Structure 1
Amino acid sequence: KLIYNASLKNYFNITLFLLSFAVGLYLLLKVLGVDLLWTLEKAQRWCVNPAWVHLDTTPFASLLRNMGTLFGLGLGLHSPLYMESKKSGSASVRIACIVASLSLLHLFDSIKPPTHTAALFYLLSFCKSATVPLATVSIIPYCVSGALGSQSKKQL
């Protein structure tokens, strides 16, 4: 219930706080001379196949994915599209939303952000993680209910 009742400002503030904390800690450790990608180095050294180790396995990438998901969920739940799509709750709309969401999630999973620049990778990971809940919570249900609603009106 708390997730649905939280304001968009709360979602934004929590995301901003976590981002500020993570970037601040990142910069502090960098100034102190701590190797920020030490987990990658150790994993590549000890892994059976070093090619399996990727930048997206770092703790910072995981934190950014979680922050993106939180921010996207906040945007999705407070979108006018979500408010409009809540009105239609028929079984056919729900099934179509499930199929469309799974298809879109499969597409998003196939998109891999470039790893040649860590900052770009982290930014794109955040955006990708924010887009997934935004699409599945508000955009897809709105489009599906609109499409199925217009089809049922044509049949009348």
Structure 2
Amino acid sequence: METIMHFVSEAYNTMLTRELFINEWAQERLSFGKPLWSFFSVQLAPNNMYNFFIPLSGIFSQEILLHLLSAITLISTLNSFEKWICPETRPLWFLREQFANKKVTKNPKVALESHQLSCETTGGLPCAHSMTFTVFVLILASFFFVRCWDRFVSWRSPFCRCIMYMLIMGTVVCMWLSRLYLATEFLHQCILGSYFGIRALNTFEGNVRYLFSRTRGHAVSVVCFLGGLALSVYFIKLQLNVDPHWSVREAFKWCPEPAYLRHEACPIFALARDLGNLMGLALASPIYKLEVKQSSFWRRCRFLGILEFVNYGMRLSTVKQSGRFAFLAYEFTRNAVHALLLIKYLPTFY
């Protein structure tokens, strides 16, 4: 058994070492697109999905907003739990550890540049950016294509479908290149992130009627159970002498400037954010009974703009200096209220 574990460990380290050259190639060959890669990693991050892009989609259709918020919240929660239970190393952490480990006889001949955006504090697998962005693009593309299919006969040709598939794949690959260029993820973490997102979305679509028909009490109980599960993982790791904050300590250890690290990027915050959004969905359950009103574009734009302006002010007022519990409780509550208002109460004013 020990021999097998040693073999698996060696194979895994060899794979990561070879993937480091892909990150190095991306930084050397793709530097011309630095503004684009920064845009993908910053503006299209999971936090901005919740605070900007999903509400923005509600201007065009409440149905799209509801579908996006439900699917991305569930899939992001799955991502956060995976990183909380079993975080994987990132390229810069792995490279620095290899050079710091005196037992390693051959250090990889790789040089990676560290950026401000490289200072992530969660595990690398699966890539949250790739996972949520892939789901976001697929849902938007499906709604857009179905609407065009119904209105325009020319969109029913195989050529138009091929163009749509190429656009989807192209934008997802740009997200992968962004993460590789910034050395925040290995290639396999990006690919598996998109793959897990697609598989999770397929499961969500296949069970959407069941999920949307759950009663409020049942849905709230599930969210409370998930919160208890997250706490259980924390204490189980302590009992097994496993550091629950390993990824945060790695980020502090190898980030060139500790000021680059953000509270909002830590794994506990991601769990509080996702469970908060889930609680908002649970309090609005059963979701299939929610009223979808038809109203003017500008009316929806005004009300959603007011809500997001208030939400932006609340995000700036996050209590970061009052202790971890207050910080997490505030963010959990803010996200729960934001999600609840978006899908249940705000549409009543349309």
TM-score w.r.t. the length of structure 2 is 0.36
Residues 54-106 of structure 1 deviation map (CA, whole Å, 9 limit, x = unaligned) = 33322222122111101112213559xx95xx375321542333322332332
Percent identical:
20
- Which amino acid is the alignment partner of residue 10 of structure 1? H
The residue type equivalent to 1:114 in the other structure is: K
1:16-44 CA-to-partner distances (Å, cap 9, x unmatched) read 12111111111222233333322222111
Greater Cα radius of gyration, structure 1 or 2: 2
**Could you say which residue in structure 2 is the equivalent of 1:98?**
304
Q: Which residue of 2 aligns with 1:48?
A: 256
In 2, Cα distance between the equivalents of 1:136 and 1:64? 18
Stretches of structure 2 that go unaligned for 5 or more consecutive residues are 1-207
Return the TM-score normalized by structure 1: 0.72
Alignment partner of 1:6 is 2:203? no
Q: Which amino acid aligns with 2:218?
A: N
CA distance in 2, matches of 1:111, 1:39: 26
Are residues 1:89 and 2:297 paired? no
Q: Which of the pair has the greater relative contact order for Cα pairs under 8 Å at 6+ separation?
A: 1
Cα separation, partners in 2 of 1:29 and 1:116, compared to 1, 3 Å: farther
Residues 1:129 and 2:345 are matched in the alignment: no
Q: Name the CA shift for 1:122/1:30 in 2 (closer, same or farther; >3 Å).
A: farther
Q: Following TM superposition, by how much is the alpha carbon of 1:116 offset from its aligned partner in structure 2, in angstroms?
A: 4.7
| Contact persistence 2:214–2:285 (CA under 8 A) | no
**Match of 1:33, SS?**
coil
Q: For the Cα contact (< 8 Å) 2:318–2:330, is it kept in 1?
A: no
Q: Is the 8 A contact 1:73 1:134 kept in 2?
A: yes
- Matches for 1:5-154 after TM superposition, within 5 Å: 5-77=213-285, 86=291, 88-91=293-296, 92-142=298-348, 144-145=349-350
Query: 1:90, 1:135 → 2: CA distance?
Result: 17
Alpha-carbon offset, residue 127 of structure 1: 1.2
Deviates more, 1:37-46 or 1:109-118: 109-118
Q: Does the 8 Å CA contact 1:68/1:130 hold for their aligned counterparts?
A: yes
RMSD: 2.6
Unaligned runs of 5+ in 1: 146-156
CA distance in 2, matches of 1:141, 1:34: 46
